[in-house]
Amino acid sequence: MTTAPAPESTGDSSLIVAARDGDRAAFGGLYARYARMVHGILLARVPANDVDDLVQDVFLRALPRLRDLRDVARFGPWLAAITRNRANDYYRQTRAVAAVTQSLPEDEGELPESNAAPDAEAAMILAFVRSLPETYRETLILRLVEGMTGPEIAARIGLTPGSVRVNLHRGMQQLREKLAEASAGGKMQPGSCSGKNSGPQGKNLLSRRNEP
């Protein structure tokens, strides 16, 4: 996969330098620019109900490590790597918790479900997206859920615009195939592939154009 320097990173340099010196407002500016990217990367990997808390955790982890960032032009890819590592840590922690709860009596080990997805169709589409290869699902979620443009995705995570276009095109192809198969198999209600999704993670998922 080809990578390229993020063109917007030059505008981040002053914020990074100020944040390193303890300027909270500057770090807030970085948060405003990169929160959608972090949210999308996490949503491609962990349960949706836990994403918001993990976004905060990622930035809290990144702040004290800013002094270790040698090339401020690579802030986006650097933050993306921290985000992916946090998602990996999430599953290591989840397995540890599961090992403990499995030893509890059944009525104590079960937790009630909460924050159920208000739109089951959107949740199903998100599940299909998350079943795609990692490269495609991350790019698709950043585009379709977070609303980032192709060039913006490229700038944030350090890919070339051409690589992002390829990932979006191939990812959309695979997603449409999965949706068509599910619809033909009766796993989705009629109209599920029509692009009329309105849930918080799936609003207009298929009606948005997949071009950057």
For residue 121, which of 209, 46, 192 has the smallest C-alpha distance? 192
The residue ranges of every structural domain in the chain are: 9-184
Task: Quickly count helices (H) and strands (E) in the chain.
Answer: 9, 0
Eight-class DSSP state of 132: S
**Residue 204: how many CA atoms within 13 Å on its side-chain side?**
7
Q: What pLDDT score was predicted for residue 189?
A: 47
Q: What pLDDT score was predicted for residue 114?
A: 38
Q: What pLDDT score was predicted for residue 184?
A: 81
pLDDT tens digits in sequence order for the chain, 212 residues long: 434 444 444 578 999 999 999 999 999 999 999 999 999 999 999 999 999 999 999 999 999 999 999 899 999 999 999 999 999 988 775 543 333 334 333 333 333 343 444 467 778 888 889 999 988 999 999 998 899 999 999 999 999 999 999 999 999 999 999 888 888 876 554 334 333 333 334 444 444 434 44
The CATH class that applies to domain 9-184 reads mainly alpha
